[in-house]
Structure 1
Amino acid sequence: MPSLLGRKFPGMIARPMAPFYISGLVILYGVNSFANTLAATDEYKNDPRNPANKNQSAH
């Protein structure tokens, strides 16, 4: 019975893709840091939609 996924070919997956994984993590870290920085500015610090605001009132 043939496999549903087709024939298996031996080959490395993780090692050639490592630069893409690393760059993805760096970009996600940068976007997260930038979003946290923007959320801490004076304009958005007291916004009720800000997830960093701990004093949210119940709706």
Structure 2
Amino acid sequence: MAFLGLRKWPTPVVKPLWPFMVAGGITLFLINKAQDSGVRSAEWRNDPRNPHAAQLAKESLH
């Protein structure tokens, strides 16, 4: 018998959602790689709006 809609055993939350969590991790990884390759591209390497321009300038000197 349910008391105020609560069951005797808790409803699983993580177990049925694991594919979505894995897909979210893969998506975040791929977006990060795409953004990093875009920032390092020749078109945006010397752009003053690039937040990584100083770091890329140091790397290109070596």
TM-score normalized by the length of structure 1: 0.72
For these two proteins, the number of residue pairs brought into alignment is 50
Gapped regions of structure 2 (runs ≥ 5): 56-62
Deviation of the 1:46 alpha carbon: 0.9
The structure richer in helix per residue is 2
SS for the counterpart of 1:54 is helix
Distance 2:29 2:14 in 1: 21
Stretches of 4+ moved more than 2 A in 1? 6-9
Q: Any idea what the Cα deviations from partners look like across 1:1-57, whole Å, max 9, x if unmatched? A: xxxxx64442110111011011001001101100100110110001112122226xx
Distance 1:8 1:26 in 2: 35
Partner of 1:39: 39
- Higher-Rg structure is 2
More displaced stretch, 30-39 vs 9-18: 9-18
The answer to whether 1:11 aligns with 2:11 is: yes
Q: State the identity %.
A: 28
CA RMSD of aligned residues (A): 1.7
TM-score normalized by the length of structure 2: 0.69
Distance 1:37 1:28 in 2: 14
